[in-house]
Amino acid sequence: MKLKLLIPGPVELSYRVLLAMARPPMGHRTPDFEAILEECWDILREVFQTRGDVMIITGSGTSAMDAAVASAVKKGEEIVCIEGGKFGERFGEIARAHGIKAREVRVEWGSALEPEKVEEVVAESSAKAITLTHNETSTGVVHDAKAVGKIAREYDLVYILDGITSVGGDEVKADSWGVDICITGSQKCLAAPPGLAMVSVSERAWEAIDGNEERGFYLDLAAYRRALKKKTTPYTPSVSLIYGLREALRIVREEGIENRVKRHRTMALATRRAAKAMNLELFADEKSASNTVTAIKIPEGLTDDDVRGAMKRDHGILLAGGQAKLKGRIFRIGHMGNVGYGDLVEALAALERVLVKAGHSLNLGDGISEAQQIFGR
C-alpha cells in the first residue's frame, strides 16, 4: 500500500510533477534544456526573494550546506553556528570537516534564538560567517532570520541561511533580510522530488568565495556561477529531476508565493489547535512554532509505536519521529508542500482514533472541530 506522507520531506508529489518526469532525458547542453533551467532560475529568484544568482545543485539539501560553508569560508577561519537542533548542528560538523573553526551559539531545543546571545558570541569571535537553520525541522521551531541578518551586517559576516524547510512554505526574503547564501532542498516546501538543492548567492558572498582558493571541487560554488553565465550547469545535471522541479515551481507560481505561505500558516495553526484539543502538548514554544512542521510530545504512558506505528499500520499515514535526543519523545506532522485541508483533516481524524485506541483521554472530533474553526467557511 502506498503510504500517505505527512513527514517533513520528502512530501507528496502532484501528478503533474510525476508526469513531467516520465519523459526521456534530453541533452543537457541544448537550447531546450537551457530554457527549462532559465524558467527554474526565474521562479526560484521569486521564491527566494532575491535578485542574486540562484543555482541548482544535484544533491540533497546538505550538499548546498557543504557548498556554502566550504566555498565562502577559508580553512582555519572561524564561523559562528547557531545550533538549536539536529540540523543547526550539521553546519558545525560541516565546518569542522573542512578545517574551519566552528563557534556555537547553543539554543535550547524547542526554543527560539535570542539575538542578544547571538551577538555576544559574534562579538567575541573573529568569525567571517554565520549560519542559521531558519526552520529547525527536528524541533519544529522557526527562528528570527531577519534579526540574525542585522547582526551579520553589523559585524560584516557572510550570512548562510538554511531555508531547507522554509523556502516556498514560509516567508523568506533573502535580499531584504541580508542573507548572503540561502539554501533550500527540492523535497520540502516546493513539493518537488528529492535530489536537488538550490542556493542563492549575494555579491558580498561572491567576494568571499573569490577570495578563497581552496573551495573544493564538485561543490565549488564558483564553478556553478561560471556555468550559470553560460546558462548551464558545471556537470551533468539530473535532467529528470529538473523536469519535476520545473513543474513543481510552476505550481508554486500559479498558487502565488504569498498564498502559499498563508496556506502553510493556516495548516500549521490548525494542527497546533487540533493537537491541543486532543490533550496533546506541543514541543516547541508556540510563539516560534514552525509553519511547516509541528512537533508534538508523545503523551505519558504511550510509545512512539502506539502513535506513529498505529498511524502507519491502521491508516496508511506516515508521520515523522523524533531525532537524536528527541527519539521516542516526540512525533512530527509535516504540513509542507501541497498539503491542504483534506490531507490534514484525514490525518487529524486518524490521529484522534489512534490516540483513543491507545487509551489517551480525548473525545473523538475535538481536534477536528478546532481545526475547522481555523479553516473557516
Q: List residues near ligand PLP by CB under 6 A.
A: 8-9, 60-62, 87, 133, 135, 137, 162, 164-165, 185
For the bound state, the minimum distance from the C-beta of residue 33 to ligand PLP, rounded and expressed in Å, comes to 24
CA distance 196 to 264: 22
Measured from the CB atom, the residue of 145 and 310 that comes closer to ligand PLP is 145
For the bound state, the minimum distance from the C-beta of residue 94 to ligand PLP, rounded and expressed in Å, comes to 11
For the bound state, the minimum distance from the C-beta of residue 138 to ligand PLP, rounded and expressed in Å, comes to 7
Measured from the CB atom, the residue of 87 and 283 that comes closer to ligand PLP is 87
For the bound state, the minimum distance from the C-beta of residue 346 to ligand PLP, rounded and expressed in Å, comes to 23
Measured from the CB atom, the residue of 80 and 197 that comes closer to ligand PLP is 197
Beta strand segments in 219-319, E: 293-297, 317-318
C-alpha cell at 198: 538550490
For the bound state, the minimum distance from the C-beta of residue 101 to ligand PLP, rounded and expressed in Å, comes to 21
SS (H, E, C) 319-348: CEECCHHHCCCEEEEECCCCCCHHHHHHHH
Measured from the CB atom, the residue of 29 and 327 that comes closer to ligand PLP is 327
For the bound state, the minimum distance from the C-beta of residue 17 to ligand PLP, rounded and expressed in Å, comes to 17
Residues making up the chain, counted from first to last? 377
Measured from the CB atom, the residue of 142 and 298 that comes closer to ligand PLP is 142
Burial of 225 (0-12, 13-18, 19+ CB in 10 A): middle
For the bound state, the minimum distance from the C-beta of residue 86 to ligand PLP, rounded and expressed in Å, comes to 8
DSSP string of 158-206?
EEEEE-TTTBTTB---TTTTT-SEEEEETTSTT---SSEEEEEE-HHHH
Measured from the CB atom, the residue of 282 and 320 that comes closer to ligand PLP is 320
CA distance 354 to 222: 51
For the bound state, the minimum distance from the C-beta of residue 90 to ligand PLP, rounded and expressed in Å, comes to 6
| Block residue for cell numbers 491502521 | 314
CA distance 336 to 339: 6
Measured from the CB atom, the residue of 165 and 212 that comes closer to ligand PLP is 165
Q: Give me the long-range contacts of 114-123 (CB less than 8 A, separation at least 24).
A: 115/144, 115/147, 115/148, 115/150, 115/151, 118/80, 118/82, 118/147, 118/148, 118/151, 119/151, 121/80, 122/80, 122/151, 122/155, 122/157, 123/155
Measured from the CB atom, the residue of 159 and 206 that comes closer to ligand PLP is 159
